[in-house]
Structure 1
Amino acid sequence: MESIIQILSDPNVAYLLLALGVLGLLAELFHPGTIIAGVAGTIALILGLVGLGHLPFSWGGLALLALAAGLFTFELSTGMSGILAVAALVAFVIGSFTLFQTPASGLNAVVVNPFLIGFVTLVMAGFGFYIFKVVRNSRHAPVRSGLEGLRNSPAEAITRLNPKGKVKVQGEVWTAEVDPIPGLEMIPVEAGQPVEVTGLDGVVLKVRGKPGEGLEDGEWSQTGWSKP
């Protein structure tokens, strides 16, 4: 245990763990569901704070790092012009260099390697730029909902459709009905066969198999229709 504390008490290790913790939590915040990033970020942040507790750190420097994280989060959440992101990076760099207190004598000074600070700052800037692009693209992407969002979506029959049954599309279970091509006889769709959404009748999906699949003896066995 003592050896672990000794490793965590290295200023470079403590600083790196704090930075990784912030990155992990930001990744979980803007890309929820991964879980791993959030858990890893939380663990890294806790370990970094443990190491920090065994070092002569500056509350002012730590406050600047927290301010940088807050500005960074607000910038990414609002998608502003980038002014807050620049302010966050400036606060992060200043906080990094002032995180640890230097004795007046200058002896046994506790400092973070400047090259490590530069590297972490570049990683933070690159990560922020990537998240900013993802958030901006998602906000400008056309909203697809209802029938528009389901049309032409691939689905799978989870029960036999004769002509109605259940299908799974986009991770949800819907009641569906075979949509035969006009002039052709409808045949049942077996469970497990792939289909495609062609329309919506109230809350019932209209589905049809993909042409070219299951063609046998003049019948489309997976489309739900055949020649009369």
Structure 2
Amino acid sequence: MCASEPRLRCVGSMPRCSSGISSSSACPVPPSCCDVAGPATRRVSCSLTRRSCPRRSRRTPPWVPWGSSRRTKERDPPGPWWPLRSGGRRDTVGSRAASGMRLPRRPWMTAQGSRLAVGLMVTATALSWLVRPLVAGQASDRPAVHVAEVDALIQPASAEFIKQTLNRADAADAALVVLVLRTPGGLVDSTRDINTSIIEAQTPVVVYVGPSGARAASAGFLITIAADVAAMAPGTHIGAAHPVSGTGEAMDDTAAEKAASDVAAYARSLATQRRRNVALAEQAVTNSESFTEVEALESEPPLIDLVADDLDSLLEALDGRAVTRWDGSTQILRTAGAPIEHIEMNWRQRLLSAIAHPQIAVLLFSLGTLGLTIELWTPGAVLPGVAGGLCLLLAFFAFQIMPINYVGLLLVVFGLVLLILEMVTAAFGVLAAGGVISMIFGLAMLIDSPAPELQLGWPFILSTMLALAAIVGFLARLSLRAQRRRPVTGTAGMIDESGEVLDDVGPGGGGRVSTHGEIWSAIAPEPIPRGTRVRVVAIDGMTLTVSPERPAVADPAQGVHI
């Protein structure tokens, strides 16, 4: 405790009590108690009376100001001032402010404030959970518009996705289904399955060819004219629905005429039932004609129903529109303000759609063939065989969908065989060069379709061939190195091994030799004394034929010989 009216001594900038207080337990006081203008040794009176000295913790080291390299007693203590009155009570804020002391720093939140904040957060969370079903119920009062995007070949995976979308919309009592279609074509059977699902759907179906720059060719054209509402974006086109062989090979005149007549009749029936231009629908099949959005809309009767810039403008144009279904009934569309639900393919459908691409199919076929070759070359590796089998099966699935030219496929297979032979034989690159050339010609004619999306392209062909050539070259180098490596096991591994005679060896036998970490019976064409270094020249059962090692002889003219 500091005495009343203590005498202070200013030491540096830190005033301390000087009345019976040792320098080691000096009582820190505010700077206002010291006349800093006077001499450092001048004694002044403290403005505070009966002030208690705060007890310093033993664990707290003496205060070291920021930037100081050592502790000193002539520095101001840190922290806010907490002056106490006699009796241990805290002084008022006004008295501390009047004395020039800094106000204490209070915690940013008390325990009571923390409990209040937690209570508010819990209440807000509970209200959000209670209000969410109400909002969802209000939103579900309006039937939703289901939007599904098809940007792939028309194949079994695409047909399954569209069928699931329509069934989901019927189960949810949706207001409308919009199929955003971009496709170069596909299988006729998958196209018929999709159109059957559209015709039998309880929900009206709109096929929208978009965005700008897209097209719905071949199978996409038949799907477009089969919809309840056919719409296109500016800068798109449809048509070119002439059938081709599934293998890409040219059909004879009779088969081609039959296929074209069948698809043309199917297109006429769809156009007639949907009240579209039957003549243009037939020309798209028989003459492979294509039509822009303006030509399709301005024809008489029109081939499509409307042109819309995007999905929002399409839904706005469809609101209040009367749609005639396949069975002749009329339904009014209500799309203004309807919630939009986007339907996505599942992982299996996305995988199959990605595989049904010419470039992916060629890569899978090449990698599958190499994987099986490596498995046959090194039995027991397991992984190359399993991966190769999976790749080949997926490649065959893709080839089933695309128009494949079998002549090009055979050239690709022949090239792969030559590359495999290069890996197992030392042909010095001749077989590899022939394989690469064969595969280049095969890939160039593999896909027989005018659609740009189905073409492989020279950049892909050349880059693929370079990668395969690099892989085959690396494996061929490993094979050649393994063939040239000296045997280390068996009879061949014992030949030319070095050893040491343990017992005298002669033509009659009876000697023993230590070689290859083992002791063998040995014979020699000449007597060899014990301790002589020998080499194995032949092996007959469990007996070695050895000969002495010849020391190296230096010849100034010829060099060193053994």
The bucket for the TM-score relative to the shorter chain is 0.5 to 0.7
Matched, 1:136 2:514: no
Give, as a single letter, the amino acid of the residue that structure 1 aligns with 2:490. Answer: G
Tell me how many residue pairs correspond in the alignment.
159
Q: 2:308 — aligned with what?
A: none
Residue 52 to residue 200, structure 1, CA distance change in 2 (3 Å): farther
Matches within 5 A, 1:9-20: 9-20=356-367
Distance 1:137 1:30 in 2: 15
Give the drift of 1:146. 3.2
Matched, 1:146 2:465: no
**Contact 1:61/1:98 (8 A) holds in 2:** yes
Corresponding residue to 2:455 among 111, 114, 133:
111
Q: 1:199 — aligned with what?
A: 518
Residue 22 to residue 147, structure 1, CA distance change in 2 (3 Å): closer
Q: Secondary structure at the match of 1:136?
A: helix
Q: Secondary structure at the match of 1:21?
A: helix
| RMSD between aligned residues | 2.9
Distance 2:452 2:459 in 1: 20
Residue 2 to residue 142, structure 1, CA distance change in 2 (3 Å): same
Distance 1:140 1:147 in 2: 17
Q: 2:434 — aligned with what?
A: 87
Matched, 1:125 2:473: no
- Please identify, of 72-81 and 7-16, the stretch whose mean Cα deviation from structure 2 is larger: 72-81
Q: Secondary structure at the match of 2:442?
A: helix
Distance 2:434 2:403 in 1: 26
Give the drift of 1:74. 2.2
Give TM-score, length-normalised by structure 2: 0.26
Distance 2:468 2:519 in 1: 46
Distance 1:64 1:140 in 2: 33
Matched, 1:39 2:386: yes
Give, as a single letter, the amino acid of the residue that structure 1 aligns with 2:458. Answer: P
Give, as a single letter, the amino acid of the residue that structure 2 aligns with 1:23. Answer: L
Give the drift of 1:4. 3.4
| Structure showing the higher helix proportion among its residues | 1
| Residues 6-55 of structure 1 deviation map (CA, whole Å, 9 limit, x = unaligned) | 22211121111112212222332333332101110110111011111100
Matched, 1:75 2:404: no
Give, as a single letter, the amino acid of the residue that structure 2 aligns with 1:117. Answer: I
Q: Percent identity?
A: 24
| Residues 77-107 of structure 1 deviation map (CA, whole Å, 9 limit, x = unaligned) | 221132121010001111112111024xxx4
Give the drift of 1:113. 4.0
| Residues 138-182 of structure 1 deviation map (CA, whole Å, 9 limit, x = unaligned) | 1111122237859xxxxxxxxxxxxxxxxxxxxxxxxxxxxxxxx
Matched, 1:101 2:448: yes
Structure 2: state its 5+ residue gaps: 1-347, 495-515, 522-540, 542-562
Structure 1: state its 5+ residue gaps: 151-196, 204-228
Matched, 1:56 2:403: yes
Matched, 1:65 2:412: yes
Matches within 5 A, 1:212-223: none
Structure number with higher relative contact order (C-alpha < 8 Å, ≥ 6 residues apart): 1
Give TM-score, length-normalised by structure 1: 0.60
Structure label with greater radius of gyration: 2
Distance 2:490 2:391 in 1: 42
Give, as a single letter, the amino acid of the residue that structure 2 aligns with 1:64. Answer: L
